[in-house]
Structure 1
Amino acid sequence: MSVDTGAAVASRIEEFGRKVQTIRDALHEVIVGQEDTIDQLLICALTGSHALLVGVPGLAKTLVVKALAAAFDWDFSRIQFTPDLMPSDVTGYELMGAAKSNGHGEPSMVFRRGPLFGNLILADEINRATPKTQSALLEAMAERHVTVAGMTHEMHDPFLVVATQNPIEQEGTYPLPEAQLDRFMMQIHVGYPTSEQEKDIVRRTAGRTPELPKSTLSREGFLELRELVMAAPVPENVVDYAVTLCRSSRPDQDSADEFVKQYVAFGAGPRGSQCLAMASKARALLAGRAVPTVADVNAVAIPILRHRILGNHRAIGDQVDTDAIVKHLLSKAAS
């Protein structure tokens, strides 16, 4: 973006805002409220990152993901995670194919792609599957490809995994390992609607099933928006702030205060700093600004850091959750 003139940059940002607002409007034709959830999902999509949705049943987590795929004109795939789900049910598998019609008549192994091969993958109730099956997502999320029987198969572009978890049902579940949690840019907590929003939901759904929005943006158009986000600059003070914020969450660092040393077992790693910088760029562009500020980092810090900080036994005993720890870090940084 730095090589463009000021007028050209302003024009591109205005066009970016117009297209994203069209997406927002399309989503709100189906989804009531949930502005923060929608914006955070847009930030993840526009930075090529994955998201983990946490909320009780009935809050339209599945619907908002399906609506996002429809608005972007993406191939949508839903995987219902259960204890008996196998890794091959996610990635795909090889089987003996028909004989070749090349005169030799010898059959060959054929790879049958699993539901993971799409643009937007909904991993529904991901913590109900065993760690072995959960890990089937890890290579795809990290490397954008999967390896089956020694052969590497590239994922589609764009490729976004949105997983869901139910926070109130823990029996028969398997917590996600920290290495996999770290691959999600954001852990988005979906809350209850307000009274008026809930009435609106009931009115809309009492007589018919909500229809998914029509596509308003081609895949090529989305890739152009993503490229604009990735090309946006990050000021040095924003980089410094993001790194300092993450380093202050690590109890073994000199920058950690007594609160962190008292309640944190492990702090956010370097990927947390990277995600803070990337998400701040997307948030700035969503607000019509070319350059992110420290305020943008603060706005995305909780969903980005809450699952990257591990509280210790004392935090559990004193009921200090990771949201409280991140809020403490932000208040300390502001002082």
Structure 2
Amino acid sequence: MKVMNKNQELTKSRINNLIKALSNGIYEREHTIRLCLLAALSGESVFLLGPPGIAKSLIAKRLIQAFDNASFFDYLMTSFSTPEEVFGPLSIKELKENSNYIRLTKGYLPTADIVFLDEIWKAGPAILNTLLTVINERTFKNGQHISPIPMRLLITASNETPAKNSGLDALYDRMLVRINIDRIKEKKNFQAMLMSKNTLSEIPASLTISNEEFFNWQEHINDVQLNQSVFDLIYVLKNKIENMDETSDYNNEHLYISDRRWKKSIRLLKACAFFNGKNEISPLDLLILTDCIWDTPNSRHSVQKIIEDFAAKDAFGQLQIQNNIDNILEKSNLIRQEMVTHLSEKMILSSGRLKDKYQLNVENCKDYSMNNKPMVKLVLLEINQSVSDIHNGDSEYVYINSDELNKAIRNGKGEIYGYINRQPKICPLMFEIDAKNNLIIKDTSNRSIHVCLAKKDTKQLSKLQNWQHSASLLEQELRQTQQLIKTANAQFHSNLPHNFIEKSLILHTDASFITLSKNIEQLEIDMHNNTQRILNINSDFQC
């Protein structure tokens, strides 16, 4: 990600301050205003879905103040609305004198910078067909003349989405940004709304956008890059949406996203990146598509869940990192298990007159002496919390008398006294035999710890070098994965604060990194438990 220059930082800060100023006094609508402003700055259209009386028209009127000398046109559609009421009346003079079919457009949609059309789906075909051309080409055909229009933002609104097979799909498809608005929910905001005066503060002149700035920014938006890695993420998201299964909350509806909407979304993403101070689209910018790719209230809920899943798993490679963690742990467990299986001391089961008994074969064992008493050495093959309450910390090996062990363990388990890690104080030690006839020692948490006799020859350690090499490679993988988390987390935080992404999605993404950090810390502990013995066990056998 390229580092933003000072001008980009100033633009990002200014847009953020402008959003706050526009939102002042309009409660619980800041995210809507953010998206509407972004749509205006990128030349896209907005559809607001929600019941009457929730400030939809107020939001549109507020957006005028973001621009210097901006003009505004709004209209409430009905089934009786005529093109003259939206695009301007016919000039009777031109019709009589020159037989020209010319509209007087001043003060109507063709001359407005910000347009708000309420109850859009109630309009008739004559209005909607003309509107489709206006949105597509940003031009208006007036008689024989086709003129560009200054419209920067079209906001449409309704309390419903267009009905299926109503012929409105083409127009609805061009409403790229789609926002569901509800009543005020927070008590303090509801009270503030009731007690507030019906006047909104003026926007400081230092924040408003001049025509020169607006058109200059359009060129810079075009220069924002979409790199291959971010495109790959867009394709991942596209597949997630297209492969929504029947168990989703989508009620088995088919969500269709046209290629045109994907294409238009790139322009919005570029603007999102630019006004967040970046020269290229970041993975975090993609989360804004939450408000672009739904078409019904049901699909909105499903899209939101998919975007949350994408934010937590895919946006910054979190799922791949978690897979790395799981794979490292699995390989670490396999190495430990292979060592334990290979080295675990097997007990000999012999038949007696009355009862079978277990015995430890101490042939070829190294001889030790503690307090003038002959001993054998048992190396503990797993990290533990100590095998005696008298001794604190990991018990690496114990010294015991083999005759006492055979006497105590002959029936499958028993307690004898021995020494831990050459400590001079004698301790009680509990031994058992597991289902595979392996000799085990119990630690203070009653965990079974496998043991191995230290012998005179080194045949038992023939595979040690391979285990240690594998453990060292896993340590390298662990460090690489830790670095991946740091890099991905840094990339995420380099985009914060973000001017347009909803706070809940930011927190959701951040939570995924908190989880990864906890998991990598636990992996390091588990790796230590699994590999520390392997890396150091040679000295335990030799001393």
SS in 2 for 1:146: strand
Mapping 1:171-250, distance limit 5 Å: 177-193=168-184, 194-205=186-197, 208-210=198-200, 213=203, 215=205, 216-246=208-238, 248-250=240-242
- Cα-to-partner distance string for 1:8-30 (whole Å, 9 max, x where unaligned): x5122112113313322321334
Residues 209 and 16 (structure 1), Cα distance of their counterparts in 2 relative to 1, 3 Å cut? closer
Corresponding residue for residue 155 of structure 2: 162
Corresponding residue for residue 7 of structure 2: 12
Corresponding residue for residue 53 of structure 2: 58
Residue 113 of structure 1 deviates from its aligned partner by 1.2
Q: Flag structure 2 segments of 5+ consecutive residues without an equivalent.
A: 320-543
Q: Distance in 2 between matches of 1:113 and 1:124?
A: 20
- Given that 1:145 and 1:155 are in contact with CA atoms closer than 8 Å, whether structure 2 keeps it comes out as yes
How many residues in Structure 1 have an aligned counterpart in Structure 2? 302
- Given that 1:71 and 1:217 are in contact with CA atoms closer than 8 Å, whether structure 2 keeps it comes out as yes
Residue 222 of structure 1 deviates from its aligned partner by 2.5
SS in 2 for 1:72: coil
TM-score scaled by length of structure 1: 0.77
- Given that 1:55 and 1:189 are in contact with CA atoms closer than 8 Å, whether structure 2 keeps it comes out as yes
Match of 1:84 among 76, 80, 84: 80
Work out the percentage of aligned pairs sharing the same amino acid.
21
Larger Cα Rg: Structure 1 or Structure 2? 2
Q: Flag structure 1 segments of 5+ consecutive residues without an equivalent.
A: 101-105, 251-255, 311-319
Is 1:287 the equivalent of 2:267?
no
- Cα-to-partner distance string for 1:167-195 (whole Å, 9 max, x where unaligned): 49x99xx9671111111111111233222
Q: Which amino acid aligns with 2:220?
A: L
Is 1:119 the equivalent of 2:113?
yes
Corresponding residue for residue 289 of structure 2: 301
- Cα-to-partner distance string for 1:234-268 (whole Å, 9 max, x where unaligned): 22222232244335544xxxxx3543898243521
Residue 141 of structure 1 deviates from its aligned partner by 0.6
Is 1:33 the equivalent of 2:28?
yes
- Comparing 256-265 with 77-86, greater Cα deviation is found at 256-265
Residues 148 and 322 (structure 1), Cα distance of their counterparts in 2 relative to 1, 3 Å cut? same
Residues 327 and 17 (structure 1), Cα distance of their counterparts in 2 relative to 1, 3 Å cut? closer
Corresponding residue for residue 317 of structure 1: none
SS in 2 for 1:196: helix
Q: Distance in 1 between matches of 2:222 and 2:300?
A: 28
Higher relative contact order (CA 8 A, sep 6+): 1
Is 1:140 the equivalent of 2:131?
no
Residue 97 of structure 1 deviates from its aligned partner by 2.0
Q: Distance in 1 between matches of 2:117 and 2:219?
A: 26
Q: Distance in 1 between matches of 2:85 and 2:263?
A: 32
Residues 177 and 139 (structure 1), Cα distance of their counterparts in 2 relative to 1, 3 Å cut? same
TM-score scaled by length of structure 2: 0.50
Q: Which amino acid aligns with 1:326?
A: V
Q: Distance in 2 between matches of 1:293 and 1:93?
A: 47
- Cα-to-partner distance string for 1:264-284 (whole Å, 9 max, x where unaligned): 435211123223333333333
Q: Which amino acid aligns with 1:187?
A: R
Match of 1:325 among 294, 302, 311: 302
What's the Cα RMSD here?
Answer: 3.3
